[in-house]
Amino acid sequence: MENEKVINEELTTPQPSEGTQEATPVEESVAPEPGSKTDSALLLKSLKEEREKRRILEQEKQELELRLEESSALSDEDISDEAKVLKKEISTLKGEVTSIREEKEFDRLCVLYPILKDKVEEFNEYRQSEHPKAKIGSVAKLYLADNGFFDAPRPGLEKSTGGDKTVTKTGMSFADAEVLRKTDWRRYQKEVIGTGIKLV
């Protein structure tokens, strides 16, 4: 035990290579402390990546739903010609009803948020690319918030609701001082004359 050497070095694993190379120390990336401000470019990059992943997953989901419908649907030979016509008419009517509902909802939103009237094309593009399955009202709020048109007032201190605040006068009225002087002279001397209470 007396002849043992203690070496305080960083352990490295030998790597097979043709020549001898010096081991480079591994750089540790320092994570930002909790509460530190994250770079806005990094936040924007991660947001775009997340939206792209979501868009891809939604497309895959739609493709799987279409495959499921095709596999579970009856073959064309099993369905009569009348049923085919009716099915086609039903699908067109469903499309028309949904478009009418969306137009009605969009008109209502234009009354609430007049800026949407000027940005119809941008809004529709945003809706199709970012949130195709979401309700139009929710997408409108998101669109306005993302583009800075919808700035909700920040909560702060509450407004006072007690009415006008008048400062109450401290001291003793002349009438109270007169009553005190007539009824209790010693207290009158002590409070009014001695301590200098102001007469109001």
Cβ atoms of residues 156 and 169 within 8 Å: no
DSSP annotation of 33: P
Cα–Cα distance for residue pair 169/198, rounded to 1 Å: 10
User: Which amino acid is present at 65?
Assistant: E
Nearest to 98, CA basis, from 122, 133, 125, 73: 133
Please report, rounded to a whole number, the percentage of residues in the chain having pLDDT higher than 90.
12
Distance CA 3, CA 198 (A): 93
Distance CA 21, CA 194 (A): 95
Question: Higher pLDDT residue, 47 or 193?
Answer: 47
Instruction: Kindly report, residue by residue over 134-161, the tens digit of the pLDDT.
Output: 888 888 888 888 887 766 665 666 666 6
Instruction: Spell out the domain ranges in the chain.
Output: 41-73, 81-150, 170-200
Question: Tell me: the pLDDT tens digits for 115-139?
Answer: 888 888 888 888 888 888 888 888 8
pLDDT attached to residue 72:
66
